[in-house]
Amino acid sequence: MSEREKILGRIREALKVSAPLPGSHGDTSAVHTAAESPASHAREWLPSVGASEAEQFALFAKNAADLKADFQLFASRDDLKAALTKLRDAEKWSRVASHGGELADLACKALGLPVTITDRGYDVQEMEKCDAGITECDALIAQTGGVVVTSRSAGGRALSVLPPHHVVIARREQLVADLPAAFAMLQQKYADNYPSMISFITGPSRTGDIERILVLGAHGPKKLTVLCF
Amino acid sequence: MSFVSQFKSLASAKTRDLRHRSVIRTALRSYEVVRDKRKAAFQSWESARQAAAETKWEAINHLDEHLVALTAKLEARGTKVHWASNGAQAREIIAQILRDKKARCIIKSKAMTSEEIHLNDALEKEGFTVVESDLGEFIVQLRHEPPYHIVFPSMHLTRGEIKDLFQKELGDAPSDSPEELTMVARRVMRQKYITADVGFTGGNFAIAETGMISITENEGNARLTAALPKTMITLMGIEKVLPRFSDLALFLPMLATAGAGQPMTCYNTMYSGPRQPGESDGPEEWHVVLLDNRRTELLADAEQRDSLHCIRCGACLNVCPIFRNVGGHTYGTTYSGPVGAVITPHLRGLQEWKHLSNASSLCGACTEACPVKIDLHHHLLQNRRNASAGQPSFFEKLAYMIFGIVANEPAFWSLAKKIGWLTQPLQRAVKGSALDPAKAWTKTRDLPPQPLESFKDWWRNRK
Amino acid sequence: MTVTLFIPCFIDALFPRAGISMVEILERLGHTVVCPPEIACCGQPPFNSGYWDEARTIAAPVLEKLKDAEAVVIGSGSCGAMVKKFYPELFKNTPHAELAKQVAARTWEFSDFLVSKLGVTDLGAKFPHKVTFHDGCHGLRELGIKTAPRALLGNVGGLEFVEMKEESCCGFGGTFSAKFPMISTAMGEVKCAAATETGADFIVSNDSSCLMHIQGLLSRQGSPLKTIHLAEVLNQR
């Protein structure tokens, strides 16, 4: 018998005896017959999010600021491109990494710098020399001030975490209200063919391991910039 | 020395160490402030707790079905799933993968299960280089000590101690500023991510519906561990299952809130396979090792089965007055605090580890703090009951039998009180000395004076 | 009504004034008080240590004596929790199972009885001192008692109430205090420091066992801070 069969066998044997439901005060006769999942009403209990796009962007902006992420919302793609070149000059970038995609292409063209493109594989040591990683994203989440990236839509696994500055280029339509909406969107978008990595990024990398003092840029990016139009 | 003697000895030392107590109190006070703020931001933290508890009930009470579904989906996309009944099997599976890959260096992100099975020691003995990338784990690895807390491994150290450590072990410690010390670790780790042969991670949640493993972290070291090395290994307890992808919308913010007082941890990443066709990077091979290690025994104890609902947030450690005063290392085992006191007797032996369940005033702060409503402090009582039933202490049982006789018979009770009153001068004479039967109390506390007239005397005299 | 007052073993032997105060308060409110002389202990010490057979030996006669009580009032949060929350657990699958549930339903801790059952918060008491309150953990977490004692203290003439900055277990925990005295003492030190920081003259509690431990530490420290049971405060006129 394989270990798998042994372990599953032990589990099935153990589960022959019922355990009390939470909050049932030890009554094991209460049978769990919920048709929908217990967490399906999570929206009602998580922190509240306004209904309008304006409220949601305001919430996203506030949360991003609390996280020490830089967020800017532009009226046009030209304004975004201008801000990007300003950022390049202020940060003194000489090389960036990115991936293929409409918004990523737009950003790289605007920057006019040497780019390491990840799409068909790349040299990690070359990416390590890049000042910033420019990626697209799957969603902005108002409730958390966070960004959702995947290995399929953001140039692989390392691009959004290895370079010291992560820049996200997003469209305003990509804003979703809350975490339940983000998971529902991902489930609908990718159905049964998920990217091998989906990551919810909430602020620049950080640690509190030394005396619980917040330090940014522990291993991942020290800076996170979200540019949206 | 037995585990219980070791515990008592360490507890005595640590409770006398006022500096240590102060460091821990300061750390946990700052945690409490942000935790309360984040809980208040929820529209209903209590409703969230109930839903989380019910979701975990569903996960654990259908564990076999969920594990089968999880495994099928993982394997369909090229992941190799291994099953380990115990730590020895898990270590061997992992070591064999390293041998097959002719690996030399393995970079790890934080995994308490790897502590549980003493993986690092085993791999290092065989000649592999093991690097802990999480800053707190990296620090305690350099100190050759286990993690102090399941979420904050280096909580017990001051910046000065870490500076001295880095100076001694790395020759690199410009100052004691947390920022500069963190940058030292960042620099050290950089090339290790790029050159390591194997990346090793734990797992916070395993999603049965979509065949994913979700990893929660703040630093980004797990993301890098799972991105760059050619081979990735994930070790996870079988109890980490959640039924649905959408369950994460509830569990991720609750884990962050209860565990660290954050609205969301910085990186929450779901992996569904090794590098897929069309993807530009990622491990060519992903091995997931599912660990039992006596969890199925805990599962079989229906009364305490909900201990397997634990999401390892550490909230119970943070509020526990015992933990706060003795610290994580005193427990002498991987899982400390209230959850450790509950599960360790099951995972490592009831009679050898029952003292962890005994070392509690049963205040219930843990149960109140638990985001998935595990009945922690009542489980401590149940462990005590099971331990005494299995191996009663002759003297304790006798003492309670006598106490029962005295309590049930008014004449004996009255006599006992009189004896107590009469021997007070004697008590005062031997107070605190080796002759004092109440030494455990009187070493640090005065005994209350016993009045001549008890309540029952007064009540009787009223008539 | 007729109130069956269950005075815990340590109040009987060590802090009778607390019990006497409870009797006087209830009688002043017009109720008949009975104190069954045969009931000495609720059985919590063996129960907490895991010796449930021995606990049942003590607790079963207690249940029998309380069988016909109209209302059972217990003078401590921990003993109250024992009868109200733990007796049903202790007697599960035994002949006393049903009786345990019935008695539990008719049992209250003293302050909870006054406020929740009798609807009384003003006893016309006077206690012109600065006080702080220690919530015994069993009363707080097993019985949910937090507002009742504060409502009662709020109506005491001349009393200035100040809350401790942090809430934590005093460290008594029954036999825990003797089995793990170093941890018990450390926890008590934290409690004493929190109480001292309030500048209060008295620490009040609805649990004498907690106060016994806290007072033991305060006396050893030579602290001027004094401890007093809630019932005694409410009986001061």
Torsion region of A8: left, alpha or beta (phi above 0 gives left; psi -120 to 50 gives alpha): alpha
Range of the domain at A208: 50-228
- Tokens 């290790």 locate to B192
- Interval C162-189 mean pLDDT: 96
> Tens digit of pLDDT for each residue in B189-228?
999 999 999 999 999 999 999 999 999 999 999 999 999 9
Cα–Cα distances in Å, from A3 out to A48, B129, B286?
A: 46, 29, 19
For position B433, what pLDDT does the model report? 77
Tokens matching residue A190: 């990718």
> Tens digit of pLDDT for each residue in B330-386?
999 999 999 999 999 999 999 999 999 999 999 999 999 999 999 999 999 999 999
Is pLDDT above 80 for B8? yes
Whole-number percent of chain B with pLDDT over 70: 100
**What is the full DSSP assignment across B326-341?**
H-GGGG-SSS-HHHHH
For position B438, what pLDDT does the model report? 85
| Within-domain flag for A38 | no
Calculate the CA dihedral of residues A50, A54, A57, A63 and round it to 10 degrees.
Answer: -50
Q: How far apart are CA B131 and CA B123, in angstroms?
A: 11
Q: Which residues of chain B does A48 touch, with a Cβ-Cβ cutoff of 8 Å?
A: 43
Of C37, C48, C181, the CB nearest to B441: C181
Cα–Cα distances in Å, from B123 out to B80, B120, B136, B225?
A: 21, 5, 20, 18
> Tens digit of pLDDT for each residue in C83-102?
999 999 999 999 999 999 99
Is pLDDT above 70 for A32? no
Which H helix or E strand runs over B60? helix B45-61
Instruction: Evaluate whether B108 touches B98 at the Cβ level (below 8 Å).
Output: no
> Which one, of C181, C49, C63, C74, lies nearest residue C136 by Cα?
C74
Instruction: Evaluate whether B320 touches B340 at the Cβ level (below 8 Å).
Output: no
**What is the full DSSP assignment across B427-463?**
HHHHTTSTT-TTHHHHTTSPPPPPPSS-HHHHHHHH-
Query: What three-state secondary structure class fits B208?
Result: coil
Is pLDDT above 90 for A21? no
What's the pLDDT band for B435 if we cut at 50, 70, 90?
Answer: confident
Chain-centre distance for alpha carbon C45 = 15
To test the contact with chain B by mutation, choose from C54, C140, C235 the residue with the greatest count of B C-beta atoms within 10 A, namely C54
> Tens digit of pLDDT for each residue in B233-268?
999 999 999 999 999 999 999 999 999 999 999 999
| CATH code 3.40.50.10420 region(s) in chain B | 47-293
For position A30, what pLDDT does the model report? 54
CB proximity A35 to B under 8 Å: no
For position B197, what pLDDT does the model report? 97
Whole-number percent of chain C with pLDDT over 90: 98
What's the pLDDT band for B434 if we cut at 50, 70, 90?
Answer: confident
| Within-domain flag for A45 | no
Beta bridge partners of A1: none
Chain-centre distance for alpha carbon A175 = 12
* CA distance, residue A30 to nearest chain B CA (Å): 12
What's the pLDDT band for A33 if we cut at 50, 70, 90?
Answer: low
Chains that touch B (3 or more CB pairs under 8 A): A, C
Tokens matching residue B428: 């005062």
Give the HSE-up count for residue B103: Cα atoms under 13 Å, Cβ half-sphere: 28
Q: How far apart are CA B62 and CA B65, in angstroms?
A: 6
> Who contacts B5 (Cβ-Cβ below 8 Å, separation ≥6)?
none
What architecture does CATH give domain B47-293? 3-Layer(aba) Sandwich (3.40)
What's the pLDDT band for B429 if we cut at 50, 70, 90?
Answer: confident
Please judge whether C48 and B381 are an interchain contact, meaning their C-beta atoms are less than 8 angstroms apart: yes
| Within-domain flag for A16 | no
Which H helix or E strand runs over B192? helix B178-195
Rg (C-alpha) for chain A, rounded Å, is 22
pTM of structure: 0.96
Is pLDDT above 80 for A24? no
Tokens matching residue B356: 């962890």
Q: Which residues of chain B does A210 touch, with a Cβ-Cβ cutoff of 8 Å?
A: 135, 154, 157, 159, 162, 178, 181-182
Is pLDDT above 90 for A34? no
Q: How far apart are CA C169 and CA C192, in angstroms?
A: 11
- Interval C115-136 mean pLDDT: 97
Is pLDDT above 70 for C77? yes
- Interval C115-128 mean pLDDT: 96
Q: Can you tell me the ipTM of this complex?
A: 0.96
Please judge whether A37 and B55 are an interchain contact, meaning their C-beta atoms are less than 8 angstroms apart: yes
Q: How far apart are CA A185 and CA A193, in angstroms?
A: 14
Instruction: Evaluate whether A47 touches B43 at the Cβ level (below 8 Å).
Output: yes
Is pLDDT above 70 for B405? yes
How many domains, chain A?
1
Whole-number percent of chain C with pLDDT over 70: 100
Whole-number percent of chain A with pLDDT over 70: 94
Is pLDDT above 90 for B117? yes
Q: How far apart are CA A114 and CA A132, in angstroms?
A: 11
Is pLDDT above 70 for A178? yes
For position B1, what pLDDT does the model report? 85
> Tens digit of pLDDT for each residue in B168-183?
999 988 899 999 999 9
For position B173, what pLDDT does the model report? 86
Whole-number percent of chain A with pLDDT over 90: 88
| Within-domain flag for A220 | yes
Instruction: Evaluate whether C52 touches C46 at the Cβ level (below 8 Å).
Output: yes
Q: Note every long-range contact of B165-173, with CB atoms under 8 Å and residues 24 or more positions apart, other chains counting.
A: B165/B139, B166/B142, B169/B142, B170/B142
CB atoms within 10 A of CB A88: 19
Q: Note every long-range contact of B415-423, with CB atoms under 8 Å and residues 24 or more positions apart, other chains counting.
A: B417/B450, B417/B454, B417/C12, B417/C13, B420/B450, B420/C13, B421/B450, B421/B451, B421/B452
Q: How far apart are CA B25 and CA B34, in angstroms?
A: 15
> Tens digit of pLDDT for each residue in B299-329?
999 999 999 999 999 999 999 999 999 999 9
Query: What three-state secondary structure class fits C162?
Result: coil
Instruction: Evaluate whether B397 touches C51 at the Cβ level (below 8 Å).
Output: yes
| Within-domain flag for A118 | yes
Tokens matching residue C41: 């202990």
> Tens digit of pLDDT for each residue in A77-96?
999 999 999 999 999 999 99
Q: How far apart are CA C169 and CA C167, in angstroms?
A: 7
Q: Which amino acid is at A182?
A: A
> Which one, of C17, A15, A69, A136, lies nearest residue B60 by Cα?
A15
What's the pLDDT band for A31 if we cut at 50, 70, 90?
Answer: low
| Within-domain flag for A40 | no
Which H helix or E strand runs over A216? strand A215-216
In the DSSP assignment, the letter for residue B276 is: P
* C178-208 CB burial, b ≥16 within 10 A, e <16: ebbbbbbbbbbbbbbebbbebebebbbbbbb
| Within-domain flag for A6 | no
What's the pLDDT band for A25 if we cut at 50, 70, 90?
Answer: low
Which H helix or E strand runs over B51? helix B45-61
Beta bridge partners of B268: A200, B216
Kindly report the CATH number assigned to the domain that includes residue A182. 3.40.50.10420
> Who contacts A57 (Cβ-Cβ below 8 Å, separation ≥6)?
A73, A142, A172, A175
Q: How far apart are CA B319 and CA B410, in angstroms?
A: 42
Rg (C-alpha) for chain C, rounded Å, is 17
Is pLDDT above 60 for C15? yes
Please judge whether C185 and B444 are an interchain contact, meaning their C-beta atoms are less than 8 angstroms apart: yes
Q: How far apart are CA B347 and CA A207, in angstroms?
A: 31
Please judge whether C217 and B445 are an interchain contact, meaning their C-beta atoms are less than 8 angstroms apart: yes
Of B48, B84, B269, the CB nearest to A45: B48
Of A3, A11, A40, the CB nearest to B89: A3
Q: End-to-end CA distance of chain C: give it in Å, rounded.
A: 24
Task: Write down the H helix ranges in chain C.
Answer: 9-13, 16-28, 44-48, 52-66, 77-81, 87-90, 97-105, 110-112, 137, 147-154, 176-179, 181-197, 208-221, 230-234
Is pLDDT above 70 for A27? no
C62 to chain B: closest CA residue: B408
For position A22, what pLDDT does the model report? 83
CB atoms within 10 A of CB B252: 23
> Who contacts C87 (Cβ-Cβ below 8 Å, separation ≥6)?
C59, C63, C100, C103, C104
* CA distance, residue B10 to nearest chain A CA (Å): 23
Is pLDDT above 70 for B166? yes
Please judge whether C49 and B403 are an interchain contact, meaning their C-beta atoms are less than 8 angstroms apart: no
Domains and CATH numbers, chain C: 2-117 (3.40.50), 130-234 (3.40.50)
For position A28, what pLDDT does the model report? 61
